[in-house]
Amino acid sequence: MPSYKEVRKSNRFYYFIKFTLNIYSMLFSLLGLCVLCVGVYAEVERQNNRTLEGVFLAPAVVLILLGLVMFTVSLVGMVGSLRDNKTLLHMFLCVLCVLLFLQVVALIVALIFEKKTSALFQSSIREGIKHYYDDLDFKNILDFVQQKFSCCGGDEYKDWGVNQYHFCNGTGPLACGVPYTCCVRRKVGEVVNTLCGYKTLSQQIQKLCFKWHHIPYKVHYF
């Protein structure tokens, strides 16, 4: 028969595991609920001016799915730990294992079919560039990515030629140019020239480095 100290020690360990799992599940369920709410709000706003259908171009849908999975799985774990329900705890463990397995499989598939994955991603980006000024959601994301990762377009800066406002045969001020988010500032705090990408598509990058007040980013994948 175990001694009183052993029983007490085992009880402490039991409650430690129980409440740790409960707090962990509760935090992730709240986080999942927040992500879900943000996704629903973004999707409602996106539906008002819906132009993009690609998976890569619908971050609101991704947020909804991610938030729903996080909230549901965490809720199962939280209820299972509170009620000491072995069925729910087993379900929680199995779902986590399945999600981990799917992530590993997705990573392996992406590495094996790297070229096809990259081509799919690039085509989705080009499709988004076509509707750059029509979808504020995608526009903000692409602007952030271009500024953050020092890139321009999906594959190269010439990808902007597919946008109707940047066609070289256009007549507007944006014709044959790229957005100002493709440019960098030489000095910190310098005011951005929104027309720094003027006529970029009709010139060579090497020449632009000497002609522009704002130097264009080096083109690479992001």
- Assess whether 77 and 9 both reside in one domain: yes
10: containing domain:
4-84
pLDDT tens digits, 10-53: 677 778 888 888 888 899 999 999 998 988 887 777 676 555 55
Domain boundary among 84, 100, 134: 84
Q: d(Cα 41, Cα 45) in Å, to the nearest integer?
A: 6
Residues 63 and 8 in one domain: yes
In the chain, the number of structural domains is: 2
The stretches in the chain having pLDDT less than 50 are 4, 55-57, 205-222
217 occurs within a structural domain:
no
Largest pairwise CA distance in the chain: 91
Rounded Cα distance, 114 and 221, in Å: 13
Give the model's pLDDT for residue 205.
Answer: 43
- Give the Cβ contact number of residue 21 at 10 Å: 17
The model carries a pTM of 0.59
Residue 125, SS3 per DSSP: helix
Residue 102 domain flag: no
